[in-house]
Chain A
Amino acid sequence: MHAFNYHRPSNVNDAAALAAKSVDAKILAGGQSLVQAMKLRLAAPTDIVDLGTIKDLAGIKVDAKSVTIGAMTRHAEVEGSAEVKKAIPALAALAGMIGDRQVRNMGTLGGALANSDPAADYPAAVLGLGATITTTKGTHAADKFFKGLYETALRPGEIITSVSFPIPKRAAYMKFKNQASRFAIVGVFVADTGAGVRVAVTGAGPCALRLAEMEKALSAKFAPESVASLKIKSDGLNADLHASAEYRAHLITVMAKRAVEAAMK
Chain B
Amino acid sequence: MGAPLIGARIQRKEDYRFLTGAGQYTDDVTLPRQTYAAFVRSPHGHAKIKSINAAKAKAAPGVLAVYTGEDIAAAKLGGLPCGWLITDVNGQPMKEPPHPVLAQGKVHHVGEQVAVVIAETLDQARDAAELVQVDYEVLPAVADVRLARAKGAPQVHGIAPDNTCYVWALGDKAAVDAAFAKAAHVTKLDFVNNRLIPNAIEPRAANGSYSRADDAYTLYVASQNPHVERLLMTAFVMGLPEHKVRVVAGDVGGGFGSKIFLYAEDVVVTWAAKQLNRPVKWTADRSESFTSDAHGRDHHTIAELALDKDGKFLAMRVKTTANVGAYLSTFASCVPTILYATLLAGQYTTPAIHCEVTAVFTNTAPVDAYRGAGRPEATYVVERLVETAAREMKMDPAEIRRKNFIRSFPYQTPVALLYDIGDYDATMDAAQKLGDVAGYPARKKASAAKGKLRGMGYAAYIEACGIAPSAVAGSLGARAGLFEAGEVRVHPTGSVTVFTGSHSHGQGHETTFAQVVADRLGMPIENVDIVHGDTSKILFGMGTYGSRSIAVGGTAIVKALDKIIAKGKKIAAHLLEASEGDIEYANGVFKVTGTDKQKLFGEVAFAAYVPHNYPHDKLEPGLNENAFYDPANFTFPAGTYVCEVEVDPETGVVKVDRWTAVDDFGKIINPMIVEGQVHGGLTQGIGQALTEGAKYDSTGQLVTGSFMDYCIPRADDVPMFQVDTRETPCTHNPLGVKGCGEAGAIGAPAALINAITDALGVKDIAMPATPQNVWRTLNQKKAA
Q: List A residues at the B interface (Cβ < 8 Å).
A: 1-3, 40-41, 176, 179-181, 183, 241-244, 247, 250-251, 254
- Are A254 and B651 also in contact (CB < 8 A) when A41-B126, A241-B703, A241-B704 are? yes
In the complex, A179 Cα to B650 Cα: how many Å? 16
Instruction: Answer whether residue B11 sits at the interface, using C-beta atoms and an 8 A cutoff.
Output: no
Whether a CB of chain A sits under 8 angstroms from the CB of B281 is no
A179 with B691: CB separation less than 8 A:
yes
* Distance in Å: Cβ of B554 to nearest Cβ of chain A: 38
10 examples of A-B residue contacts, CB within 8 angstroms: A2-B127, A180-B708, A180-B711, A183-B708, A241-B704, A242-B770, A242-B772, A247-B775, A250-B775, A251-B651
Asked if B772 and A180 make an inter-chain contact with CB atoms under 8 angstroms apart, the answer reads no
Q: How far is the CA of A241 from the CA of B703 in the complex (A)?
A: 8
Q: Knowing A179-B711, A180-B711, A254-B650 touch, does A241 contact B695 (C-beta < 8 A)?
A: yes
Beyond A2-B127, A180-B691, 12 extra complex contacts between A and B, CB < 8 Å: A3-B123, A41-B126, A176-B771, A179-B717, A179-B771, A241-B709, A242-B770, A244-B772, A247-B775, A247-B776, A250-B775, A251-B651
- Per the bound structure, the CA–CA distance linking A181 and B711 in Å amounts to 8
Q: With a CB–CB cut-off of 8 A, which chain A residues contact B710?
A: 180
B123 adjacent to A1 (CB under 8 Å): yes
With contacts A1-B123, A179-B691, A241-B695 taken as known, whether A247 is within 8 angstroms of B772 at the C-beta atoms is: yes
CA distance A244 to B776 in the complex (A): 10
Query: With the chains together, A181 CA to B710 CA distance in Å?
Result: 8
Interface of A is mostly: loop
| Nearest-CB residue, chain B, relative to A258 | B650
- Choose among B703, B707, B708, B776 the residue with the greatest number of A CB atoms under 10 Å from its CB: B708
- How many angstroms from the CA of A254 to the CA of B652 in the assembled complex? 11
A16 CA to B571 CA in the complex, in Å? Answer: 84
Q: Give CA–CA (A40, B708) in the complex, Å.
A: 13
- List, in ascending order, chain B residues with CB within 8 A of A243's CB: 772
Q: Enumerate chain B residues within 8 angstroms of A250, measured Cβ to Cβ.
A: 775
Interface string of B683-713 (1 = CB under 8 A from A): 0000000010001000000011001111100
Could you tell me if B123 and A181 are in contact, using CB atoms closer than 8 angstroms?
no
* B707-A181 in contact (CB<8A): yes
B527 on the A face (CB < 8 A): no
A239 to chain B, nearest CB (A): 11
State which of A176, A179, A181 has its C-beta within 8 Å of the C-beta of B770.
A179
Looking across the interface, which residue of chain B has its beta carbon closest to that of A228? B650
B130 within 8 Å of A (CB atoms): yes
Per-residue contact bits, chain B 764-784, to A (CB 8 Å; 1 contact, 0 not): 000000111001100000000
Residue of A nearest to B693 (CB): A241
Q: In the complex, what residues of A have CB within 8 A of residue B776's CB?
A: 247
Contact status of A180 and B707, CB under 8 A, knowing A242-B770, A250-B775? yes
A179 to B774 alpha-carbon distance, docked (Å): 14
B residues bordering A, Cβ < 8 Å? Answer: 123, 126-127, 130, 287, 650-651, 691, 695, 703-704, 707-711, 717, 770-772, 775-776
Docked CA distance A176–B648 (Å): 12
- Which chain B residue shows the least CB distance to A243? B772
For B711, what are the chain A residues with a Cβ–Cβ distance below 8 Å?
179-180
* 7 pairs of A and B residues whose beta carbons are closest in the complex: A180-B711, A181-B708, A179-B711, A254-B650, A247-B772, A179-B691, A180-B709
Query: In the complex, what residues of A have CB within 8 A of residue B127's CB?
Result: 2
Q: How far is the CA of A198 from the CA of B130 in the complex (A)?
A: 48
In Å, the complex CA distance between A179 and B718 comes to: 13
> Which of B130, B703, B772 has the largest number of chain A CB atoms within 10 A?
B772
> Once bound together, how far apart are the Cα atoms of A242 and B768, in whole Å?
11
**CB nearest to A253 among chain B residues:** B650
Complex Cα gap A243–B126 (Å): 35
Q: Which of A2, A242, A243 gathers most chain B CB within 10 Å?
A: A242
Contacts of B770 in A (CB 8 A): 179, 242
Docked complex Cα distance between A247 and B652 (Å): 10
Residues of A within 8 A of B771 (CB): 176, 179
Closest B residue, CB atoms, query A247: B772
Residues from chain B with a CB closer than 8 A to the CB of A183 are 708
Closest to B775 in A: A247
Q: How far is the CA of A242 from the CA of B774 in the complex (A)?
A: 12
| Complex contacts, A179 vs chain B, CB 8 Å | 691, 711, 717, 770-771
Nearest Cβ on chain A to B12's Cβ, whole angstroms: 26
A244 proximity list for chain B (CB < 8 A): 772
Q: Output the least CB separation between A145 and chain B (Å).
A: 25
Complexed CA–CA distance, A243 and B717 (Å):
19
Select from chain A the residue with minimum beta-carbon distance to B776. Answer: A247
Contacts of A1 in B (CB 8 A): 123
Contacts of A241 in B (CB 8 A): 695, 703-704, 709
Q: How far is the CA of A263 from the CA of B709 in the complex (A)?
A: 31
- Inter-chain CA distance A225–B582, complex, in Å, is 88
For B708, what are the chain A residues with a Cβ–Cβ distance below 8 Å?
A: 180-181, 183
Bound CA–CA A45/B776 (angstroms): 43
Query: In the complex, are the beta carbons of A242 and B775 less than 8 A apart?
Result: no
* Min CB–CB distance B468 → chain A (angstroms): 37
Residues of A within 8 A of B650 (CB): 254
B690: nearest chain-A partner, CB-CB: A179
**Chain A residues within 8 Å of B126, by CB:** 41
Would you give the shortest CB distance from B164 to chain A, in whole angstroms?
A: 30
CB distance from B298 to the nearest CB of A (A): 17
Residue of B nearest to A255 (CB): B651
Contact partner of B287 (CB less than 8 A), chosen from A2, A40, A180, A181, is: A40
Give min CB distance, A131 to chain B, whole Å. 28
Complex: A242 Cα to B703 Cα, angstroms:
11
Task: Return chain A residues, CB-CB under 8 Å to B703.
Answer: 241
Once the chains are docked, how many angstroms separate the CA of A180 from the CA of B706?
A: 9
Bound CA–CA A121/B195 (angstroms): 31
CA distance A128 to B776 in the complex (A): 30
A41 to B770, CA, bound (A): 31
User: With A and B bound together, what is the CA distance between A2 and B122 in angstroms?
Assistant: 11
Measured CB to CB, the closest approach of chain A to B184, in angstroms, equals 41
Please give the distance in Å from B697's CB to the nearest CB on chain A. 10
Query: In the bound complex, what is the Cα–Cα distance between A41 and B650 (angstroms)?
Result: 40
CA distance A3 to B691 in the complex (A): 37
**A244 — nearest CB in chain B belongs to which residue?**
B772
Chain A nearest CB, measured from B218 CB (Å): 30
The CA of A64 and the CA of B282, in the complex, are separated in Å by: 58
Complex Cα–Cα for A241 and B130 (A)? 29
**Most B CB within 10 A of own CB, among A2, A181, A241, A243:** A241
Chain A residues with Cβ below 8 Å from B651 are 176, 251, 254
How long is the Cα–Cα vector from A1 to B650 in the complex, in angstroms? Answer: 43
Chain A residues, CB < 8 A from B695: 241
Contacts of B287 in A (CB 8 A): 40
Q: Are B709 and A242 closer than 8 Å at their CB atoms?
A: yes
B707 touches A41 (CB 8 A): no
What separation, in Å, do the CA atoms of A191 and B126 have in the docked complex?
49
**With a CB–CB cut-off of 8 A, which chain B residues contact A242?**
709, 770, 772
CB of A237 to closest CB in B, whole Å: 13
Q: Report how far A244 CA is from B772 CA in the complex, Å.
A: 8
Distance, CA A250 to CA B126, complexed state (A): 44
Shortest CB–CB separation between residue A195 and chain B, in angstroms? 31
Residues of A within 8 A of B775 (CB): 247, 250
A243 to B709, alpha carbons, bound, how many Å?
11
> In the complex, A241→B704 CA distance in Å?
9
Residues of B within 8 A of A3 (CB): 123
Q: Evaluate contact between B772 and A181: CB separation under 8 angstroms.
A: no
Query: Chain A contacts of B691 at CB under 8 A?
Result: 179-180
**Cα separation A214 to B709 with both chains bound (whole Å):** 31
Residues of B within 8 A of A247 (CB): 772, 775-776
Q: Select from chain B the residue with minimum beta-carbon distance to A257.
A: B650
The complex places the Cα of A135 from the Cα of B536 at a distance, in Å, of 64
Tell me, rounded to whole Å, the shortest Cβ–Cβ distance linking B692 to chain A: 9
CA distance A3 to B772 in the complex (A): 41
In the complex, chain A residues whose CB is within 8 Å of the CB of B707: 180-181
CB B774 to nearest CB in A, in angstroms, measures 11
List the A side residues contacting B123 at CB < 8 Å: 1, 3
- Docked CA distance A40–B703 (Å): 16
